[in-house]
């Protein structure tokens, strides 16, 4: 788990002591934080995190959870052979385990437990019930700052979110909560700033969802229309008919695409496989 730098936490504690009082003092605290930024006491990143710490008490779990429709879950009776593709394609480390009743989450399965079974050649003895961890359940109205305290105290990384009727509304992870303070936590599928398309290997490329269609067409030698959408993410969403989920695959023409990073608001990154190897445009002139 990523923690706030000591200097940052110390500054916030000093400011909180100075403005300790009722909730209506929060705006005064925020003004002081922004004043500290203007006086070069804290930099931009520190200011954003401090504002996140102050504001996280106003956010509820329902605001940051992964909706039920986008959850990647497994069934209690799934054999290990069925679990492996889900683990590999989704890239997740934890999975809700469902019973026949889709509102009954019976536990949490850790990918490392399944991989350990496979690595030791004990697939025949695998029983998902023996590997499951207890599922933590929280109401969607819980405040995120309270959730973070519970995650830290109990060393949990995932909780199942239920609505007022007890039905499964979604799930929330410790990363979802921390990102409200530190901002988005990138992973290995994020493409560097100023670089929309990156070659990863023979015929394999990582592409930002925000890549303009014209740039994509030039790179891959295709002719996707930009009349309706400006970006690759728009084209992919049109073909799928919904906001893509991580691990989803589709084919558009000769190109194979897999969603590598997406959340409930946007498509961030794709893995694109071309039928033939391509030379990046910036290198083509040197081969003439």
DSSP conformational letter for 19 = T
Res 6: pLDDT: 46
Between the two ends of the chain, the Cα-to-Cα distance in Å is 50
pTM for the whole structure: 0.56
Question: What average pLDDT does this structure show over 173-178?
Answer: 84
| Banded pLDDT at 285 (limits 50, 70, 90) | low
Pick the CATH number of 62-182 from 1.10.390.10, 3.30.465.10, 3.10.580.10, 3.40.980.10: 3.10.580.10
Topology match between the domains 62-182 and 197-281: no
Q: How far apart are CA 82 and CA 96, in angstroms?
A: 15
Domain extent listing, the chain = 6-58, 62-182, 197-281
CA 152 – CA 158 distance, rounded (Å): 11
Mean pLDDT of the chain: 78
Please name which of 81, 83, 65 lies closest in space to residue 73, comparing C-alpha atoms.
83
Mean pLDDT, rounded, for 145-161: 89
Mean pLDDT check: name the lowest of 4-18, 83-97, 116-130, 159-173.
Answer: 4-18
Q: What is the pLDDT of residue 251?
A: 92
Contact criterion met (CB below 8 Å) for 265 and 194: no
Rounded to 10 degrees, the C-alpha dihedral 68/72/76/80 comes to 180
H-state helical runs in 197-259: 213-220, 232-240
Average pLDDT over residues 200-225: 90
CATH topology of domain 197-281: 3.30.465
Which one is predicted more confidently, 223 or 66?
A: 223
């Amino acid at each position: 788990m990523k923690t706030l730098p000591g200097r940052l936490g110390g500054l916030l504690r000093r400011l909180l002591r100075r403005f300790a009082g009722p909730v209506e003092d929060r705006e005064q605290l925020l003004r002081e934080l922004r004043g500290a930024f203007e006086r070069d006491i804290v930099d931009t990143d520190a200011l954003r995190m401090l504002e996140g710490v102050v504001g996280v008490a106003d956010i509820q779990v329902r605001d940051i959870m992964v909706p039920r429709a986008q959850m990647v879950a497994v069934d209690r009776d799934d054999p290990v052979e069925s679990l492996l593709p889900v683990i590999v394609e989704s890239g997740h480390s934890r999975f809700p385990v469902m019973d026949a009743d889709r509102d009954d989450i019976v536990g949490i399965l850790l990918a490392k437990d399944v991989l350990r079974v496979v690595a030791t050649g004990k697939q025949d003895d695998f029983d998902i019930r023996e590997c499951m961890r207890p599922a933590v359940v929280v109401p969607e109205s819980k405040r995120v700052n309270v959730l973070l305290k519970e995650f830290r105290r109990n060393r949990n990384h995932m909780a199942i979110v239920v609505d007022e009727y007890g039905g499964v509304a979604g799930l929330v992870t410790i990363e979802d909560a921390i990102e409200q303070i530190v901002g988005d936590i990138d992973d290995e599928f994020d493409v560097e700033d100023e670089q929309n398309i990156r070659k990863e290997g023979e015929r394999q490329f990582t592409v930002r969802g925000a890549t303009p269609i014209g740039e994509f067409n030039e790179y891959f030698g295709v002719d996707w229309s930009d009349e309706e959408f400006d970006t690759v993410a728009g084209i992919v969403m049109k073909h799928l008919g919904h906001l893509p989920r991580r691990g989803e695959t589709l084919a558009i023409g000769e190109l194979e695409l897999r969603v590598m990073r997406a959340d409930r608001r946007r498509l961030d990154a794709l893995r694109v496989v071309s039928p033939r190897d391509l030379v990046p445009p910036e290198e083509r002139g040197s081969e003439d």
